[in-house]
Structure 1
Amino acid sequence: MWIEAIVMPREESRPYRPSRRLDRRALYNAGRDESLEFRATVLNFLQANQLMNAVKWVSEPGSLPMVTLRCQERVLERLRKAPEFEAGKSLSLELQS
């Protein structure tokens, strides 16, 4: 059975410090770079743990460090156990008319 999972980096325990003011383009580019790097980290983890055959689809990078996967439940369980990730199942919405 295929599920949709959302993976984000685990938050660090250091206190929040606002960043210096950047223009929107620089802020977007920094977020995009972080997203590309995080996506590569998730894919490397999946390949290293031989889980790619249980993944049907991986989202493209965006402006936030977050990856959505269409995968089997065992992939989500492995991601939840990894110390570098926060992972969960996305909520399915079925609309009725």
Structure 2
Amino acid sequence: MNIMLGQVVYSKAGRDEGRIFIVSGIIDDKYVFVSDGDLRRYENPKKKKIKHLNITAAIIESISQKLNSGIKITNAEIRKALAEVKAAEAVKE
């Protein structure tokens, strides 16, 4: 399974189970860094095993482009983007 920077994921294990995150860094084929802009800020991301994540097809393009080009992103950008994803999912249900 390919995972990309800026991809939306949900934690399925650990004390943060059920929380929504974006992938803010890729370590190797087993680990990634995730951030939510709130408890796990961009400056201090959570190292998480990929097998402990529910990976969605959603990729936040603006954040993905910034991460790929090395431009700094803000925690407010992450929070806003994740709130929009949550709102879109709430409408679907």
TM-score relative to the length of structure 1: 0.28
Q: Which has the higher contact order (CA 8 A, sep 6+)?
A: 1
More strand by share: 2
Bigger Rg, which one: 1
User: Greater helix percent: which structure?
Assistant: 1
